[in-house]
Amino acid sequence: MKTFKYLTVAALAATSLTLSSCDDKDDNKGGTDKPSIDDIIEDGFYISGEALPFTGVDVKGRMKAAINEADGQSARDGLFDIYITLQAGKTFSFTEVKGASTTTYGSAGEYKVNQDVSEEYAGDILKGDFAEGGSFTVGETNLYHVAIDKSTKKFVAVPVTQWCIIGDVSAAGWNDNDDINVLKGIYNDSKITYSKSGITLKEGGFKFRHSAAWKQTLLEAPGDIAEEAVKINTNFSGVAGALADNKFTFTNHAPGGDNATLTKDHRGVYTVSVTWELGKENFEVSIVRTGDADIADYPESMWLRGSGITGDDAGWGADYSIELSRVPGNAHLFWNVVYLHEGGGIKFDPTNEWNGDFGSNGDAPSEIEGGSEYGQGKSDIKIEGQTGYYVVSLNLKDEKIAVVNDVQIYLTGNDQTGTHGDISVDKLFTLEGDLFVSPDLKAGKVRMYAIAPYIDSWWQREFHITDNKIVHRIDDELDPAIATAGQKAYLNFRTGEAEIK
């Protein structure tokens, strides 16, 4: 059952207080009127103080239950968050209302952190521990994403510097780009609209995230148990309804949820807005179509063919072709790790039936890090380097082809490295014959990625082992194989087979 009570500003001056009187006289101490319905307080955690647009405990400061991103987006008792404006140099605190009592929490070792953590906000945040009494302050006036975890007494306050519509739907893909998909706003303590006009959108999945971050850590995982970390989502998705009067409805806000989607019929130029308003639980999303868009169509698939694959002319046949992996969020990019023979030739075929095939433009290649880059044309690409493994990357938008013989594959993920996209020698696979062999694995999920030209984010070059096969990540995160401590991963890109043993 939900519990409600009337609280006055004077009552909240105490750290812990029991409210026992319910008659009209006590409810009107000092001659004040009874509080309005907006002053009725429900059990829960609240943020309040002079740093906020209101000072007392108010329904507009009630924090909502949050899910733990680190534990498979599961519910966590005592984890709460809220988006709220805070003024620099002024104090705020948390108040727990429970039954007929309140307890106020403040700093117990707060610290300002300039963090540089993969997938988290890169900049100054307020982070630390809380305890009964005291208060907090921030150094910059802004909208903040504030979270607390009751059981560990951890808190964090992250500035919301921007919002971004991110995903397959925009030319920026799954990256923030100020010129393409980043939404900016003007500060106001009770309502801020982050908006951008002229955004070209196409079919695909998308989310909204703030401050170029996917998540924010409150508590690091102890040892190798990633699920025991505490992290909140700094992104949300939902459902884009039917396009009516050139505008989408956007419902079912879900922090960390599955991608929202647009279809090919929705291609166009849009004004996209995300609005925060004091006291409202969810952001208001506006996606308004303002014009048509000329969007290039790229092939759904791409195969590599040629004598470079087998060392003889049999390689030009479809039986020996190698399918390249399309990059998530970037329909114009393809890549794979392939075994090629010195002196052989290769071309690309989007149908695997010699329809629309292409190679280089015949000009001498440019030297790039670890290999060569070719302009797109009709000529075969001759493999000049020695027989062995190569990374082949294809950029259809810029009509560029990269062939790199410095193949680097790394472990990644919370279970194996504690982070994502880290380039560390101790996480690098070594080549033993035809096999890439990992360092000793820790217990948990085995995730890995390669370095490849044209592809910005590590997860767009990620692959897993599923049913003893190498499986590239195409869109949503895959379900990787599980290792026990001390095992190793073995990858054979010639056969596509892999195992952990």
Residue pair 248/166 in contact (Cβ under 8 Å)? The answer is: no
pLDDT value of position 99: 86
Question: Which of 373, 404, 435 finishes a domain?
Answer: 404
pLDDT value of position 242: 84
| Residue 12 CB neighbours (<10 A) | 20
The answer to whether residue 187 is domain-embedded is: yes
Sign of the CA dihedral running 51, 57, 58, 62: positive
Domain count, the chain: 4
Same structural domain for residues 444 and 352? no
Query: What 8-state DSSP symbol labels residue 259?
Result: P
Dihedral-angle region of residue 361 (phi above 0 means left; psi in -120 to 50 means alpha; beta otherwise): alpha
What secondary structure does DSSP assign to 326-373, as a single string? EETTEEEEEEEEEEE-TT-EEEEESSSSSSS-BEE-SSPPEEETTEEE
pLDDT value of position 188: 97
Same structural domain for residues 9 and 153? yes
Nearest to 152 by CA among 70, 97, 239: 70
The answer to whether residue 148 is domain-embedded is: yes
Nearest to 225 by CA among 440, 22, 456, 418: 418
CATH number of the domain bearing residue 479: 2.60.40.3610
Same structural domain for residues 12 and 152? yes
Question: Which of 133, 159, 185 finishes a domain?
Answer: 159
Nearest to 275 by CA among 342, 186, 335: 186
Question: Which residues 6+ apart lie within 8 Å of 197 measured at CB?
Answer: 271, 290
Question: Which of 159, 180, 198 finishes a domain?
Answer: 159
The answer to whether residue 239 is domain-embedded is: yes
Tell me the HSE value of 307 on the side-chain side, using a 13 A CA sphere.
12
Same structural domain for residues 84 and 141? yes
The answer to whether residue 152 is domain-embedded is: yes
Q: How far is CA 95 from CA 130, 139, 154, 278, in A?
A: 11, 22, 14, 18
Same structural domain for residues 11 and 154? yes
The answer to whether residue 195 is domain-embedded is: yes
Q: How far is CA 279 from CA 59, 62, 83, in A?
A: 7, 8, 9
Across the chain, which has 501 residues, the per-10-residue mean pLDDT values are 41 34 36 38 94 95 96 95 98 94 89 82 94 94 98 96 95 90 97 98 94 94 72 95 88 93 93 97 95 92 97 95 91 96 97 96 94 96 96 97 97 86 90 97 94 92 93 79 95 97 95
pLDDT value of position 152: 94
pLDDT value of position 206: 95
- Structure-block tokens of residue 407: 């193949």
What single-letter amino acid sits at 143?
A: L
Question: d(Cα 375, Cα 456) in Å, to the nearest integer?
Answer: 20
Question: d(Cα 489, Cα 442) in Å, to the nearest integer?
Answer: 11
Same structural domain for residues 130 and 201? no
Same structural domain for residues 67 and 10? yes
Q: How far is CA 373 from CA 136, 296, 334, 383, in A?
A: 54, 23, 14, 12
User: Facing residues of 287 across strands?
Assistant: 248, 272
CATH number of the domain bearing residue 79: 2.60.40.3620
Q: Residue 66: helix, strand or coil by DSSP?
A: strand
Same structural domain for residues 351 and 413? no
The answer to whether residue 297 is domain-embedded is: no
The answer to whether residue 296 is domain-embedded is: no
Same structural domain for residues 239 and 324? no
Q: Residue 70: helix, strand or coil by DSSP?
A: helix
Q: Cβ-count burial of 1 within 10 angstroms (0-12 exposed, 13-18 middle, 19+ buried)?
A: exposed
Query: What pLDDT digit, counting tens, does each position of 231-271 carry?
Result: 999 999 999 888 889 998 898 899 999 999 999 899 999 99
Tell me the HSE value of 433 on the side-chain side, using a 13 A CA sphere.
4
Angle (CA) 304-307-313 rounded to 5° is 125
Same structural domain for residues 384 and 455? no
Same structural domain for residues 211 and 235? yes
Q: Which range of residues forms the domain containing residue 117?
A: 4-159
Q: Residue 211: helix, strand or coil by DSSP?
A: coil
Same structural domain for residues 268 and 372? no
The answer to whether residue 298 is domain-embedded is: no
